[in-house]
Chains A and B, each alone.
Chain A
């Protein structure tokens, strides 16, 4: 079946020159977009058009374009990664939109994710949280043989599920409090579930949470919007685990 053509779309997009400037919405018209093209392809076509018109192209983040790197972002029509579930923006297709529609595109909005230009935000805050404890401090040596450390299958599965987090920041963008709890809980959980990571579980939870607070993310109120909008469906039960690790760490100190 041939893909349908969206004859005309209005793209209302956030334009901002740099981190310091104020920024505002601009609306552009784009024609003849195939429903089979991806959202980012539509953005590329729009940018070509803008360049031809002598307008500065829209800056947006992207890299792998296959849903695994977590670089693409965009808050599309009121939702992170747009009107589809369990996908990143690069995996979103134009068949999710209607002909004649106005599509509103905003950057992730959070104090901890300042806009650099247009739709590109600075997600260094996530790196800083990882540096605060998202690792296992052991001396690296030779690679151990497989299965020398027995790991319960359920634990391995839960750890792997949490490790699926690609650090995209959609959880922060979706949360009414701009909280990074889902991201932090995923990073704490995939290590806490394994014997190598268990050793430092308490200090890890404490350090990563303090870093998260310090960087200006909001607190979690369990709305569950993060899980619903996460492209990897990271479960909020990881947040319960983080709460548990953190509370035990604080009470026992």
Chain B
């Protein structure tokens, strides 16, 4: 088994499965966060966030999700390092733009930038909600249940900080570009592809990538442009 995980196709298999898992999370996470812009009282989002924070299934999934990220990231550096070593003398002149997409050649750069964004994102929201608390993170009671006013924290963050707002828009777009290659690539890696499905996976992947990028960019924009008023 350990030999499989470090063999060329095994390495890819790990990337593909962890990538698919992260893509499911990213979609669910977006779905929940879009509640932010569909109810200006914030009740809907707060209830959603509260449900996610207390639901036993989600509690179990949280560490698995963390592990999914760690595996995807560790393997990505390992895999790119092995691939980089396979060409000890580099070309003096390269003209690769006609043969492959920019995203496909820069998955590590894109992933690493997404990682930087993720850390900033976690410091500003996850850590505050889960551990440290924050003056902006007040308490509310909705239908008799006491809960965090996560809506207050998120909306105030984007209203007060243009920098954080722009970083979040950038994060969404970078992730979208990562997935414009990553989506169809993960099915190809698993062998679930043929000459009919190649174009289909690419089309579905592009739609998914655009939805993710636009979806995540719209949330900070909504608050930055004062559309909640």
User: Which residues on A are within 8 Å of B, measured CB to CB?
Assistant: 25, 75, 77-79, 83, 104, 106, 109-112, 174, 176-179, 181, 209-210, 212-213, 216-225, 228-229, 235-237, 239-248, 250
Q: Which of B112-120, B185-193, B206-214 contacts A (4 or more CB under 8 A)?
A: B185-193
Q: DSSP majority for the A interface? A: mixed
Report B96 CB to chain A, min CB distance, Å: 6
Given contacts A106-B93, A240-B193, are A177 and B9 in contact (CB under 8 A)?
no
Question: CB < 8 Å: which of A110, A181, A222 contacts B104?
Answer: A222
Counting from the closest, the 8 A-B pairs by CB-CB distance are: A244-B191, A78-B95, A218-B86, A177-B83, A228-B99, A219-B8, A240-B193, A218-B83
* Residue ID in chain B nearest A230 by CB atoms: B99
Question: CB < 8 Å: which of A25, A112, A176 contacts B96?
Answer: A176
Report A133 CB to chain B, min CB distance, Å: 14
| Contact (Cβ within 8 A) A209 B188 | no
- Give complex CA distance A104, B95 in Å: 11
In the complex, chain A residues whose CB is within 8 Å of the CB of B4: 250
- Give complex CA distance A206, B68 in Å: 27
| Contact (Cβ within 8 A) A209 B7 | yes
- Give complex CA distance A112, B104 in Å: 23
User: Which residues on B are within 8 Å of A, measured CB to CB?
Assistant: 4, 7-13, 79, 82-96, 98-101, 104-105, 107, 181, 184-185, 188-195, 198
- Give complex CA distance A224, B97 in Å: 11
Given contacts A75-B91, A79-B99, A229-B99, are A247 and B190 in contact (CB under 8 A)?
yes
Among B9, B10, B192, max chain A CB count under 10 A is at B9
- Give complex CA distance A174, B4 in Å: 26
Given contacts A178-B86, A219-B83, are A247 and B191 in contact (CB under 8 A)?
yes
In the complex, chain A residues whose CB is within 8 Å of the CB of B100: 176, 223-225, 228
| Contact (Cβ within 8 A) A213 B86 | no
In the complex, chain B residues whose CB is within 8 Å of the CB of A236: 188, 198
In the complex, chain A residues whose CB is within 8 Å of the CB of B195: 235, 237
| Contact (Cβ within 8 A) B99 A247 | no
| Contact (Cβ within 8 A) B12 A220 | yes
- Give complex CA distance A249, B146 in Å: 54
Report B94 CB to chain A, min CB distance, Å: 5
Report B192 CB to chain A, min CB distance, Å: 7
| Contact (Cβ within 8 A) B13 A247 | yes
| Contact (Cβ within 8 A) A177 B86 | yes
Report B125 CB to chain A, min CB distance, Å: 32
Given contacts A213-B7, A218-B87, A235-B195, are A174 and B99 in contact (CB under 8 A)?
yes
In the complex, chain A residues whose CB is within 8 Å of the CB of B189: 222, 243
| Contact (Cβ within 8 A) B94 A219 | no
| Contact (Cβ within 8 A) A221 B99 | no
Report A130 CB to chain B, min CB distance, Å: 17
Report B176 CB to chain A, min CB distance, Å: 18
| Contact (Cβ within 8 A) A219 B11 | yes
* Residue ID in chain A nearest B96 by CB atoms: A225
* Residue ID in chain B nearest A103 by CB atoms: B93
